[in-house]
Amino acid sequence: MNKSRVKQKTKEFFSSVYSGPIIAILVIGLFLTIFSPQFLKVSNFVNISNQIAINIIIAVGMTILITSGGIDLSVGANVALTGVIIALYFRAMPEGGSPLVGILIGLGIGALLGLINGVVVAYLKAPPFITTLGTMGVYRGFALVLSGGRPLMGINENFVHIFSGFIGAMPRQFLIALLFTGMGAFILNRTSVGRIAQCMGGNERTLRVSGIPVELYKILMYMITGILAALAGMVLTSMMAVAEPIAGQFYELDAVAVVVMGGTLLQGGKGTVFGTLLGAILLGVMRNGLNMLGVPANYQQLFVGLIIMIAVISGSRRKSPAQL
């Protein structure tokens, strides 16, 4: 009796969408443990979790957005612009300003940037990827202009403490990332917003015919992504204690990569936030591995690109329902 149950559970595991990333993490982890003595140390894991925290925050928003059939390539620029504006605020206030206000400003900026993206895509019916490609340039430009092209220091100390540092042995930013992963998963699976996102990606016409205001929800999706990207920007600014206008470059690629690796379909309709978390861990472990093995930083971009390509191609094998 027990044997067949074990068999069934194993079958379920392997056919689930999570099996891929989990197996990959274990295999690579095993490989690295053998070939690199530094890998299996607590300090290394802390390091990895530190590095992937920002990616996770952005990718959670991106997961919901891609599930709804959209995409946002301006998130990296959003990260930079939010950081710059918050830094300007802190510098402008005589006493260094209030961290709470800083957070509110940051969230507001994120919402605004997302709103702009959303309005253009939803009401002007412009294709998401090229639109956000354009807004990426605009937002990045503003980051450069407002900062004069230079990094900005003078970030409020309390603000820095909110987002960085440690709670026990865990880095704060990673815990924040986990928190938002949980929230994101909840939103996607347990709320009406998440349900509508899944429908939008699967068959927008059905939503329309059912009398649901599709455009408004589309804008909401972009705003969620924008807010989370801004949050990531705040975390980054805290971690570095400086706001760089050139920050966030290629963050959008990393976000798309881990979303796709985690099993969310690029065409939309099926999304998993937990999968994205796994994907982020996998990417983090891979990057960490490359570092441990002494592979120069130059190879990393090549690497991420190959990952995206492989993930996208293998994702196409799991055909979306519309193609059946």
Partner 1 sequence: MTLQKSILGRTWDRYRGVIISLLVINVFFSFTSRYYFTVYNIFNILDHSSISLILSIGMVFVLASGGIDLSVGSTLAFTGIVAALLFTAGVPTLIAMLLAILVGMLIGLLNGLIISHYKLQPFIVTLAMLSIVRGLALVFSGGNPIIGLPTGFLKFFAGNSLLGNGIFIAVGMTVLAAFVLEKTAFGTYVKALGGGEEAAFLVGVKTSRIKICVYIISGFCAVWASFIFMAGMDAAEPIAGLTTEWMEAIAAPIIGGNSMDGGKAYVLGAVFGVLVLSCIKSGLNMMGVGQHYQQIAIGTVIVAAVILDSLRRKL
Partner 2 sequence: MNKLVEMISLKKNFGGIKALQQVDLTINSGEVHGLLGENGAGKSTLMRILCGLEVPDEGVIRIEGAEAEIQKPSDAQSLGVGMIPQELILVDGMTVYENIFLGYEIRNTLGLLDQMRMRSRARELLQSLGSGDIDPDSFVGLLPKAEQQIVAIARRIIQGGKVFVMDEPTSALTEKETEKLFSIIRKICDAGNAVVFISHRLEEVLEICDCFTILRDGKNVASLRNIPEITKKDLIAHMIGNDIDEEFPHTVTTPGDTLLEVEDISFMTSQGRRVEHVGFTVCAGEVVGITGLVGVGKTELAQTIMGLRKNSGGRILIKGKEQHIGSPVKAVKNGLGYVTEDRRGEGLVLGLKSLYNMTLGALSRIVRVMVIKLSREKKLGLEYSSQLNMKPEYINMEAQKLSGGNQQKVVVIRQMMGDSEVILFDEPTKGIDVGAKAEIARLISSLSSEHKGICIFSSEPREILGVSDRIYVLNNQGFVGPFRRGELDYKKLMAIEFGDTNAAGVGV
Contact with partner 2 (CB under 8 A): which of 199, 234, 243, 257?
199
Q: Which of residues 66-125 bind partner 1 (CB under 8 A)?
A: 120, 124-125
How many residues contact partner 2, by CB under 8 A? Answer: 24
Does residue 129 belong to the site contacting partner 1 (CB under 8 A)?
A: yes
Site string for partner 1, 236-275 (x = CB under 8 A): --------------x--x--x---------xx--------
User: Helix or strand or coil: residue 265?
Assistant: coil
CB-CB neighbours of 268 under 10 Å: 24
CA–CA separation, 251 and 74 (whole Å)? 9
Q: Answer whether 227's CB lies under 8 Å from 53's CB.
A: no
300 binds, among partner 1, partner 2, none (CB under 5 to 8 A by kind): partner 1
Contact with partner 2 (CB under 8 A): which of 206, 301, 314, 316?
206
In terms of C-beta distances under 8 Å and separation of at least 24 residues, what long-range contacts does 131-135 make, across chains too?
132/71, 132/72, 132/73, 132/74, 133/73, 133/74, 135/74, 135/77
Phi/psi of residue 213, nearest 5 degrees = -70, 90
CB-CB neighbours of 92 under 10 Å: 10
Contact with partner 2 (CB under 8 A): which of 184, 202, 226, 284?
202
CA–CA separation, 309 and 116 (whole Å)? 29
Q: Answer whether 246's CB lies under 8 Å from 87's CB.
A: no
Q: Which of residues 242-301 bind partner 2 (CB under 8 A)?
A: 269-270
270 binds, among partner 2, partner 1, none (CB under 5 to 8 A by kind): partner 2
Minimum distance between the CB of residue 307 and partner 2, rounded to whole angstroms? 25
Q: 166 pairs with which residues across the strands? A: 171
Contact with partner 1 (CB under 8 A): which of 37, 149, 165, 213?
149
Closest CA to 283 of 262, 309, 312, 313: 262
Residues that bind partner 1 (CB under 8 A): 120, 124-127, 129-131, 133-142, 144-145, 149, 250, 253, 256, 266-267, 296-306, 308-309, 312-313, 316
Binding site for partner 2 (CB under 8 A): 190-193, 195, 198-199, 202-203, 205-213, 269-270, 320-322, 324
